[in-house]
Structure 1
Amino acid sequence: MRHGGGGLRERKKLQTREALADAALRLALEKGPDHVTVEEIAEAADVSVRTFFNYFPHKEHAILGRNPEQLERALERMRTASPDESPLTTMWHVVHDVLEELGSDGELSRRGELIMSSPTLLYQLMLSSIDDERQLTAALTERMGEPAGSLRPALIVSTAGAACRVVMELHKTAPGRPIPELLDEAFQLLAQGIDTSFGPNNQKGHP
């Protein structure tokens, strides 16, 4: 995981959050997510249980590596993006920033496999992803100058999220290809149009 700039206090907070997330992931892989306790995670990270709850509301968010600051940085990235930067390009930057902070391909793969094997983790990821996408869509809609409820910004955000999920799944069957490389290919396909021949009303035999 990367350690960004900022003052000593901010760096120590980041290190503590990363230590808790690393401990949570390691223990969940060893024992199974349902058999890990907050007390064990805090002890492994050498902090108090009270400190744990300063960073995560529950153990599932620690195992997922959830960091609310990631969303804040993503929203700021949208607000400060160059007017010449396309909305999909902005989402590409946002996704790559999150992946870089979450760790190496190996760590991402281990966490991804663990999530897919745990209904509880999958449910928590779904809940947090829905909320993230809602806020990102609102920010992108405003940046694009479109009215609330517009389809295009919502599709850009949601398809970017879908691309990440597909890439993580495919990486298990093609581990030789780095996740960022697969992600770049996925975004290129989105940019080009997945099926430019789409036209159900033009098919022969259509009533």
Structure 2
Amino acid sequence: MDSLRERKKTATREAISAAALRLALENGPENVRVDDIAEAAGVSPRTYNNYFSSREQAIVAAISAERALRIAAALRERPADEPLADAVVAAVVEQYVTEAEPGSDAFALLTSAPALRAEFLGTVAAIEQPLATAIGERTGIDELRATVLAAAVSAAARVAAGRWLTPAGGGLVVAPSTSLADALREALAHVVPALQAVSGR
């Protein structure tokens, strides 16, 4: 019963965020109201507020849907004999590269609206706890060390995404000169020595 309830909640959340993104793409994020999103998703405004506290949160949820859990799952699926640093970098990068590359509708939205950029960057911090758990499971290290490593990875990813999404002077939106994947790898390279220092894999 609980499983069915959770599936229904997940489906409702996904329907709301999908409606929010669709309306933002069609009308511009500044022209999207909570009531419009709720109506498009087939729910009441009250139900909407049970899932999201702002339109920006709902829009970004459709772009970065459950990324934190997907990164942790991706790390668990990496080969057991792969070095921890390589596995973590690969898990993080592969979950970001399809979300907001130049030329995509998501990229255009994120770079055109400061509130959406801020919300997107805020979601990066959410990877910390699931990633810490996955690192601990993979290596057997204590919770504190795993959490510190995950926090460092999260910080590097946030800095990379923030620099990558910063528009040119005057607010002009241009495609970055590097890919998000490359920006992430460059930032995460500074965390690699700490990951390599972990005993085991």
Report the TM-score when normalising by structure 2: 0.61
**What SS does the corresponding residue of 1:146 show, helix, strand or coil?**
coil
Which protein has greater RCO, CA pairs closer than 8 Å, 6+ apart? 2
Q: Which residue of 1 aligns with 2:104?
A: 106
Which ranges in structure 2 are unaligned for 5 or more consecutive residues? 1-10, 194-201
Distance in 1 between the 2:176 and 2:125 partners?
30
| Alpha-carbon distance in structure 2 between the residues aligned to 1:169 and 1:104 | 12
Task: Tell me the residue number matched to 2:130.
Answer: 135
How many matched pairs? Answer: 174
Partner Cα distance (1:168, 1:88) in 2: 25
Q: Deviations for 1:184-207, whole angstroms, at most 9, x for unmatched residues?
A: 25514643x59x9xxxxxxxxxxx
Deviation string 1:1-57 (CA, Å, 9 cap, x unpaired) is xxxxxxxxxxx9898467414324326726x2xx532221244xx431349739942
Judged with a 3 Å threshold, the aligned counterparts in structure 2 of structure 1 residues 18 and 130 are, in CA distance, closer, same or farther, namely: closer
1:29 touches 1:114 (CA, 8 Å); kept in 2?
no
Match among 159, 183, 206 for residue 156 of structure 2 = 159
Q: Secondary structure at the match of 2:166?
A: helix
Consecutive unaligned residues in structure 1, runs of 5 or more: 1-11, 197-207
Note the aligned Cα RMSD (angstroms).
4.1
Aligned equivalents of 2:125, 2:140: Cα separation in 1? 22
Q: 3-state DSSP class of the match of 1:175? A: coil
Q: Within 1, Cα distance between the matches of 2:100 and 2:175?
A: 18
CA distance in 1: counterparts of 2:121 and 2:184, whole angstroms: 21
Once residues 60 and 126 of structure 1 are traced to their aligned partners in structure 2, the CA distance between those partners, rounded to angstroms, is: 12
Q: Please, which of 71, 77, 80 is the counterpart of residue 80 of structure 1?
A: 77
- Aligned residues with identical type, % of pairs: 18
Q: Judging changes above 3 Å, is the alpha-carbon distance between structure 1 residues 101 and 174 closer, same or farther for their aligned structure 2 residues?
A: closer
Determine the structure 1 residue equivalent to 2:52: 57
> Which residue does the alignment assign to 1:20?
19
Is 1:41 aligned to residue 41 of structure 2?
A: no
From the superposition, tell whether residues 114 and 170 of structure 1 become closer, same or farther in structure 2 (CA, over 3 Å): closer
Q: Distance in 1 between matches of 2:107 and 2:52?
A: 24
Structure with bigger gyration radius: 1
2:8 is matched with none
CA distance in structure 2 between the aligned counterparts of 1:86 and 1:111, rounded to whole angstroms: 36
Moved over 4 A (4+): 12-18, 101-104, 124-127, 170-174
Q: 1:145 to 1:166 in 2, by over 3 A?
A: farther
Distance 2:159 2:49 in 1: 31
Query: Is contact 1:75–1:136 with CA below 8 Å preserved after alignment?
Result: yes
